[in-house]
Structure 1
Amino acid sequence: MVEDLLEGVIEGQGTWFAVVVLVVGAVVLTYSVEKLISYLTRAAMGFGVSIFALAIVFTGLEFDDTAVALVFGAGGLEDAALGTALGTALAITGITLAVAAIARPFPVDVPRDYLVLFALSPLLLVPFVLAGTLTAVHGLLLVAAFAALLGYVVVRESQRDVPVFRDSEIAERIEADGGVPLEEVSLAELDSRTVLEEIPEDRFVTDAAYEAAFWLGLSVLALGGLVVGSIMLQASSEVLVESWGIEETVFGATVLTLVLTFENLLLTIEPVRRGIPEIGVGHVVGSVIFSVTANVGVIAFVAEVTIPPAVLVFHLPAVIVLTAVAAAVIASGRLRRGHGYALAGLYVAYWLVAIFAFGGVPIPG
């Protein structure tokens, strides 16, 4: 695994190098998130589709979680892989969405049918958990379920009467990203040049026919940078913990949790700060749906998973409840600080019960 190789290199150089890698990783991650937001915005406008749909595709697919699931599953750590998938689903709503609402309350408009799919997605796991063992067939069904849900959103978005960024109200919010005022601009004239502040990459766009594909390609590169930054953060933090002698459980419950959720926090809070909450909410919705369907399914591809009793009686019900509450607050039309405190409170309560009654919590990925 790339992270293990990098960790070995860092250990060979010493603590000072781990600190350098940690700082560089944070910079790479932050820069990549900033660029991903700009590129996705332009790609959505170029294709005339919703940024919400693109956000689900590009930020909702947890590639690092998939890699962890494959490695853990192949290495006989199926329970750890399953815990990571469930932990991610919990942390996305209980930490990421909660912190975003507390830090910067924001309006949000997500179609009700999407929220229904979001709220019900954890229930797709129930029959498989009741079966007691996840097999490759179950994994295939879960991946197919994710593909169907994703396909529904993409098709539905392409058919919406007013795609995101063709709506003047939404476009006006982009002014927070440095865009120009829109009072004198007609909707027919809206494009990335009239709405968004110019970025250096704009000068490379010479053919409007390929503009959308160009920005989509850069989005893929930015996503790669995001993954690289995350790997650097995780590998360096683990080396620092070992060298500083921090107790492993304490590390997992504090430092590792913060490191593993840093990427998700950036992908949710930064778009909100820049006036494009569709990216942040799309990330939350996509990540939860992916975690409870395709990510669990991938684990079953490499090894059969015997479901621990605690998953059925506690961890999965916690995911179901927290996801339903998150869907309800999103449906309200505006995320407020009270919503954030409620989500965070439920997440803390989950941790306390998990630690004292079930002996531990899944670590979010």
Structure 2
Amino acid sequence: MSILIFIAGAALLIYSAEKLIIYVVGAAAGLRISVFLLAIIFTGIEFDDVALGVALNIEDLSDVALGTVFGTAISMIGIVLALAAIISPTKVNIPRPYLALFVAAPVVLVPFIVFGPLTPVYGAVLVLLFVLFIGYVASRELKRTTPVFRNAEILEKLEVGASPGGSGTGTGHAVTRDPAEVPTDKPPFVVTVPFTKERPIPGWAAIALAVLALAGLVAGAAITSYGTQGILQDYQIQGALFGATIATLVLTLEDVFLTVEPTRKGAPELGVGNVIGSVVFGVTAKLGIILLAGGSIVVGDHVLSWHLPVLVGMTALAAYFLGTRRLRRWHGFVLLALYIAYWTVSFAVFGGAPIETD
């Protein structure tokens, strides 16, 4: 039964991720809003992670709550972005100011941690920093004639079901070519996205559908996690080994699908937006909300000497890879190897590495 639950959850994850991709792109096209901006809002802001961190801090598990902040951010780069590069190497075009903010986000924590403990006042500042980040991205995108990641090519890349050799117009509309141009043994080119010329979908309706798909994604992650726990109990798998390998991947499965699926579908902008948004949100607003709701956190020496430098280093390396404008397979292997090394050293020296646990 636990295996069936795991499979059902994973299937819901995949289905919801694919729908979320389509509806976010549809909303961006209908409302003329940047896909990158919508990706940050819909996938970068992780409400379930915030709820977990707040609960842990309220229950006097502040060190674990802080661990989830660093663990999730590092896994977004070492697992999620790494797997996206390994599975679907692709071209990317991230504006350098965004990459600079991506790198700067964890660096901002240095003075807060040095002059610890972390207090609710610091939390308010961190939340404000994330609001400023969103405001900057929104202002930059809305002022551009063609906002980054909001162009017809994304819709064209998401088209599926086209006849072999067919080519789309990149408008996101269903297109029937001249009969003389269509071989009699092949159907006309058809776009399967739900916002066709004959059936246009309003931008706000696409937003509502994206929210529904996001709810399905969260539910799929919860079901998969529950099935994972059952597998662990039913088959008596060693807990530490399972937690350091399979469970860590499962706990980030939602983000894996939100990054790998768009990349595989030919819209890496959504996946990269998820990674950048999640990291920036995690080390600013997520930590800020945890502090505001749960109170101060005393920071251990190992955070400043180990976990924070690792996060800063991996973020900088990921930004460098993205700055080359092509996410290559070897980039993914390097990031994944560094993440494994991080785990190894963490267990050997500090007795454990921070992970998100339910």
Show the counterpart of 1:264.
255
Provide the C-alpha distance between the structure 2 equivalents of 1:177 and 1:270, rounded to a whole number of angstroms. 17
Show the counterpart of 1:3.
none
Letter in 1 for 2:276: V
Provide the C-alpha distance between the structure 1 equivalents of 2:18 and 2:43, rounded to a whole number of angstroms. 13
Q: CA deviation at 1:235?
A: 2.2
Show the counterpart of 2:300.
308
Q: CA deviation at 1:339?
A: 1.2
Residues 1:83 and 2:67 aligned together: yes
- Give the 3-state SS of the residue equivalent to 2:108 in structure 1: helix
Residues 1:356 and 2:348 aligned together: yes
Matches within 5 A, 1:171-186: 172-175=156-159, 181-182=167-168, 185=169
- Give the 3-state SS of the residue equivalent to 2:192 in structure 1: coil
CA contact (8 A) 1:45 1:165 kept: no
Letter in 1 for 2:300: P
Letter in 2 for 1:248: G
In structure 2, do the counterparts of structure 1 residues 169 and 220 end up closer, same or farther at CA, with 3 Å as the change threshold?
A: closer
Letter in 2 for 1:57: I
Corresponding residue to 1:145 among 129, 138, 148: 129
Q: CA deviation at 1:144?
A: 1.2
Corresponding residue to 1:281 among 261, 269, 272: 272
Deviations 1:118-163 (A, max 9, x none): 0111011111111221111111111111111112112211112222
Show the counterpart of 2:4.
20
Q: CA deviation at 1:181?
A: 2.8
Provide the C-alpha distance between the structure 2 equivalents of 1:95 and 1:125, rounded to a whole number of angstroms. 22
Matches within 5 A, 1:304-343: 304-343=296-335
Letter in 2 for 1:221: L
Deviations 1:48-94 (A, max 9, x none): 12211111110111222112102111111111111111111111111
In structure 2, do the counterparts of structure 1 residues 25 and 139 end up closer, same or farther at CA, with 3 Å as the change threshold?
A: same
Deviations 1:259-281 (A, max 9, x none): 11211111111111111111011
Structure 1 window deviating more from structure 2 (350-359 vs 107-116): it is 350-359
Provide the C-alpha distance between the structure 1 equivalents of 2:161 and 2:337, rounded to a whole number of angstroms. 32
Deviations 1:312-331 (A, max 9, x none): 10001100000000001001
Q: CA deviation at 1:174?
A: 3.9
Q: CA deviation at 1:178?
A: 5.1
CA contact (8 A) 2:172 2:195 kept: no
Provide the C-alpha distance between the structure 2 equivalents of 1:196 and 1:68, rounded to a whole number of angstroms. 44
Corresponding residue to 2:206 among 209, 215, 218: 215
Extract unaligned runs of 5+ from structure 1: 1-15
Extract unaligned runs of 5+ from structure 2: 176-188
- Give the 3-state SS of the residue equivalent to 1:360 in structure 2: coil
Figure out how many residues of one structure are paired with residues of the other and give that number: 341
- Give the 3-state SS of the residue equivalent to 2:352 in structure 1: coil
Provide the C-alpha distance between the structure 2 equivalents of 1:91 and 1:166, rounded to a whole number of angstroms. 28
Show the counterpart of 1:157.
141
What TM-score does the superposition give when structure 2 sets the normalisation length?
Answer: 0.88
Show the counterpart of 2:111.
127
Q: CA deviation at 1:193?
A: 4.7
Structure 1 window deviating more from structure 2 (342-351 vs 314-323): it is 342-351
Corresponding residue to 1:253 among 237, 244, 247: 244
Corresponding residue to 2:282 among 279, 291, 302: 291
CA contact (8 A) 1:234 1:259 kept: yes
Corresponding residue to 2:19 among 28, 35, 40: 35
CA contact (8 A) 1:105 1:336 kept: yes
Q: Percent identity?
A: 43
Provide the C-alpha distance between the structure 1 equivalents of 2:98 and 2:43, rounded to a whole number of angstroms. 16
What TM-score does the superposition give when structure 1 sets the normalisation length?
Answer: 0.87
Matches within 5 A, 1:74-113: 74-113=58-97
CA contact (8 A) 1:176 1:275 kept: no
Q: CA deviation at 1:335?
A: 0.7
CA contact (8 A) 1:135 1:304 kept: yes
CA RMSD of aligned residues (A): 2.4
Provide the C-alpha distance between the structure 2 equivalents of 1:331 and 1:161, rounded to a whole number of angstroms. 23
